[in-house]
Amino acid sequence: MANNIIKAEWEKIRAQHPGIDLDFSGELEDIEESLAAMQVRFLLGVGLIYLILAAQFKSYWQPLLILVTVPLAFTGVAFGLAISNNPLSLYTLYGVIALTGIAVNSTIGGLFSLAFGLGGQSLLWGPVAASIVWGLAFSTVLTLYVVPLLYLGFMRPKTAHPTRRWWPWKRSAAA
User: Is residue 42 in a domain?
Assistant: yes
Say if residue 71's pLDDT is above 80: yes
Q: Which residue range(s) make up the domain with 36?
A: 28-154
User: Is residue 106 in a domain?
Assistant: yes
What are 34-59's pLDDT values in tens digits? Answer: 888 888 888 888 898 889 888 887 88
User: Is residue 21 in a domain?
Assistant: no
Mean of pLDDT values over 5-21: 88
Residue 39 CA, distance from chain mean position: 10
Mean of pLDDT values over 52-81: 84
- E-state strands within the chain: none
| 3 state SS of 60 | coil
Question: How many distinct structural domains can be found in the chain?
Answer: 1
DSSP string covering 64-102, please? Answer: HHHHTHHHHHHHHHHHHHHHHTPPP-HHHHHHHHHHHHH
User: Is residue 160 in a domain?
Assistant: no
- How far apart CA 139 and CA 145 sit, in angstroms, is 10
DSSP state, 156? P
